[in-house]
Amino acid sequence: MAQSPVLRPGHVCLRVLELDAALVHYRDRLGLQEVGRDAEGRVYLKAWDELDWFSVVLCEADEPGMDSLAFKVIDVAALDALERDLQAYGRTTERIPANELRHCGERVRFTLPTGHTIDLYAHKDVKGNGLGRLNPNPWPEGLSGMQARRFDHCLLYGQDLDATVDLLCKVLRFDVTERLVDGELMLAAFLSCSNKAHDIAFVRHAEDNKFHHASFLLGSWEEVLRAADLIAMHDIALDLGPTRHGITRGQTIYFFDPSGNRNEVFCGDYTWYPDHEPITWTADQIGRAIFYHDRRLNERFLGVVT
Amino acid sequence: MPAAEQEMQVAGADLQVPAPSSIHAEIRIRPGEQRFRCRPQESVLHAVARLGQSTIPIGCRGGGCGVCRIRVLRGSMVTRRMSRAHVSASEEAEGITLACRTFPLEDLDIEVLGPRSSGDKARPSLLQGISVTTPE
């Protein structure tokens, strides 16, 4: 499989019921940094160790959930080529002008078979991580809350899992790193465009365009446990954890923002290369695949989405 | 919901609700006589969770996922913003609400509705055919 021109998840646009409450959560608890607001009422945030201007956009709406998920691609030539490839594959694309999202270049937008809106872009202004690029220190002082290092991935729910995986692999050149199967039927798929164990993931679900969680990276298991303490200290709605996933090996904890959007903070995965064979989990091991320690399914974790 | 309660919807990060701080409202689940008490300024769902009950499904607890849908049959309450995907304006006028966003002003009679899309169709594939799950 050729190296993907897609670099990484770039940003997620989330709808929240109350912007002020959401900001306390994402800024003060998760530890993201507010980097701007626009005339449309959107708030832009980034995690401390990201270099690009923003990775989370919040807007107030009547229904929580995910508006769109964006990936950064290597350059404008790759963006143009991907647009042509998406159209040749049969997807409708549209161009969204530069700076519609402030500090973000032109975006190519399309919809996955599972109903989710995906944007691709080649340029975003650089904000930096506060450490500079010349003889830097390892971390900045004064971080808040869980001190999330980067926006890592989203898990999305939708019907046509097979068609979405096909598109991501054939056109965007993602690899399936892990899958959960019941005989011939794929129940869940984890895909990478990089060396991460996953950059995006999907679970088969009767409804399209549903959002399970946005995930943020922490530095260690100790930091995950510290996040669990913060969740208790601030009476944040806990979903599950701290625990480990069988799939991706991630050490993780899940909780809800004040509007009911699920977040994950986690650490640890493994290094993926395109020449690796994907991992398969079988349906009889679902408990262990998702909740490696507990080895039992949890209805709220699997069933509650926005 | 009467207009007076509409105006009392709370926005912002403050989790306190402008309800009388002395109210220990009794919630009665209809049909039947199952009852529990809310503490002052506690949502109906928060009381259910605190008491370790399984009468109302406990989801995101933020008004977003819709699993804790109830109908208030009698009694007044204050509500916070909840997803219109799960409770439309007309449903809200009929007394349908999300328990996690409902703060009683007095004793309430309620009916548990559960998520709008019920049944196996809406359950993710991972839960299809799985009948034994972790109790909350």
For residue A190, give the nearest of A272, A100, A259, A255 by alpha carbon: A272
Partners of A306 on chain B (C-beta within 8 Å) are 60, 64-65, 83
CA–CA separation, A186 and A236 (whole Å): 33
Q: What is the ipTM of this complex?
A: 0.88
- Contact in structure between A239 and A290 (CB atoms under 8 Å): no
B124 vs A97, more confident: A97
Per-residue pLDDT in tens (0 to 9) along chain B, 136 residues: 443 333 333 333 334 455 556 779 999 999 988 999 999 989 999 999 999 988 999 999 999 999 999 999 999 999 999 999 999 999 999 999 999 999 999 999 999 999 887 555 566 777 775 443 334 3
pLDDT digits over A190-246, tens only? 999 999 999 999 999 999 999 999 999 999 999 999 999 999 999 999 999 999 999
pLDDT digits over A124-169, tens only? 999 999 999 999 999 999 999 999 999 999 999 999 999 999 999 9
- Please tell me the distance in Å from A296's CA to the nearest CA on chain B: 7
pLDDT digits over A71-90, tens only? 999 999 999 999 999 999 99
CA–CA separation, A273 and B5 (whole Å): 57
Catalytic residue among A11, A116, A198, A205: A198
Predicted local distance difference test score (pLDDT) of residue A53: 98
| Max CA distance (Å), chain B | 46
Mean pLDDT, to the nearest integer, of A14-18?
Answer: 97
CA–CA separation, A128 and A222 (whole Å): 26
Within an 8 Å CB–CB cutoff, is residue B116 touching chain A? no
Q: Strand B69-74 and strand B108-112: pairing?
A: antiparallel
Within an 8 Å CB–CB cutoff, is residue A43 touching chain B? no
Task: Name the residue facing A286 among B15, B117, B126 (closest C-beta).
Answer: B126
CA–CA separation, A39 and A124 (whole Å): 19
Within an 8 Å CB–CB cutoff, is residue B59 touching chain A? yes
Within an 8 Å CB–CB cutoff, is residue B114 touching chain A? no
Predicted local distance difference test score (pLDDT) of residue B1: 42
Task: Name the residue facing B62 among A63, A205, A258 (closest C-beta).
Answer: A258
Q: For the whole model, what pTM was predicted?
A: 0.92
Instruction: Work out the burial of residue A132: count CB atoms within 10 Å of its CB; fewer than 13 is exposed, 13-18 middle, 19 or more buried.
Output: exposed
